[in-house]
A and B are shown apart, each in its own frame.
Chain A
């Protein structure tokens, strides 16, 4: 039915405005919905991307950590061997210090040590002590003293064997030159004596 409206124009304008506003609200609603969808999609994409990035980052971190762990393990292993070497050097130095101290303490009064050399293996040292003495008896005493060497009174003896390698008389000085070989044990056991 064709409708008419004889109200004054200002009322019709209000009606027309209402009708237009209805459309405005409708379009505004659609626009807001669209905007919401766009923002939602963007947010979800970002969120999803962040999640994926985080996962990837975690995976990368894990891999790096694993690689670093392997590397560190290798380094630790290297350090372990270095430590072993250091321990050996340290132990050797300590032993040498002990040995020299002991040699000073046990050497008989008419005997002098001219040289101390050593060769080392994993279990200990083969130490060669050369010097001169007034007689053979002092050399024998020196050998006995060396055999009873201990780092500490409670510990087992470190020198497992002392062999008189040579005794030679020096006609010019009238003294006896000697050479002793000591087997110096790094890890002595009680029963090893």
Chain B
């Protein structure tokens, strides 16, 4: 059940920050701002740089007014996800144990990460499988300081994949979300309102990055197929591996549909290309809630973040 509390959703790409204002019923406004330098560089610097961008956003978007609560959707490349198998533990024990379980597999020490998790399933031997999320503490501190300096109140930080999966919440059949950006593509499989798998793949291709950042890119299906064959081969291979991984773990469920988003989703024929390779219905992801403004796919992570905790 949704409440009437206003909540803002914030998402980052490497060059932009996007803000969505949700009044508890509908999307009231969307804003975007250019980052003064790539996010990967900014996040290691002074939080006041972030605060300056956010203050500018607040000044330009009058609908924000005095509303402060914000949920941040971080790119999947910033958040590590792992499936952990652990004995039954209470919440406090889990959060104390998980960083030590994760540090052997991540480029972070236990005391350098913030962790959250949820239970995926119970195994026959009594153990539990958890989907664990870890993020660099330094990044979180930078975000929190920047948000607070701009008079925002951080309510949650999550991943883009969870934000995007939330837009199809309640879908009775398993579905795959694919967020295609200029540098990365991330994908996740959702079933029973739980994200079961989350992977990402680099999309490092100068031409692709240029194409994606065009306001209205034009390209034929044949050009798309031939010019970006290597890129899409890696993408579709990764998607198929992700789907297989899920279906191997699920006895009865198969992925029924694919929802694409991200700045790459507006590249013409991408849906057709993926449909052809994956043999699954492919659609542009979109929120089921009302919007008062025109939105493009680049705002979807921020919209999903704005809906955090509202179901």
Residues in chain A within 8 A of chain B (CB atoms): 1-9, 11, 15
Contact = CB atoms under 8 A, between A and B. Distances in A.
A15 B309 CA distance: 11
Contact of A11 (B133, B154, B194, B308): B154
Given A7-B140, A7-B144, A11-B144, A2 B195 contact: yes
Nearest to A7: B157
A56 B71 CA distance: 68
B166 A5 contact: no
A140 to B, nearest CB: 130
Given A1-B194, A7-B156, 6 more contacts: A3-B162, A5-B155, A7-B154, A7-B155, A9-B95, A11-B154
B49 interface: no
Nearest to A15: B155
B118 interface: yes
Given A1-B166, A3-B308, A15-B155, A8 B118 contact: no
| Most A-side CB within 10 Å, residue of B134, B155, B194 | B155
B47 interface: no
Interface of B: 74, 79, 95, 114-118, 131, 133-135, 137, 140-141, 144, 154-159, 162, 165-166, 169, 193-195, 308-309, 311
19 contacts: A1-B162, A1-B311, A2-B194, A3-B156, A3-B158, A3-B308, A4-B118, A4-B156, A5-B116, A5-B158, A6-B114, A6-B115, A6-B156, A6-B158, A7-B114, A7-B144, A8-B144, A9-B95, A11-B154
A6 B155 CA distance: 10
**Chain A binding site: helix, strand, loop or mixed by DSSP?**
loop
A6 B98 CA distance: 13
Contact of A4 (B133, B141, B144, B154): B133
| Most A-side CB within 10 Å, residue of B118, B140, B156, B311 | B156
Contacts of B158: 3-6
A4 B165 contact: no
Nearest to B156: A5
A5 B165 contact: no
B260 to A, nearest CB: 19
Contact of A6 (B131, B133, B195, B311): B133
Given A6-B114, A6-B116, A7-B144, A1 B156 contact: no
A43 to B, nearest CB: 36
A8 B155 CA distance: 10
Contacts of B195: 2
B157 A2 contact: no
A6 B193 contact: no
B194 A6 contact: no
Contacts of A9: 95, 114
B211 to A, nearest CB: 32
Q: Which 5 A-B pairs have the closest CB atoms?
A: A4-B116, A6-B157, A5-B156, A2-B118, A6-B135
| Most B-side CB within 10 Å, residue of A5, A8, A15 | A5
B169 A1 contact: yes
A1 B157 contact: no
A23 B146 CA distance: 31
A3 B193 CA distance: 10
Contacts of A5: 116, 155-158
B95 to A, nearest CB: 8
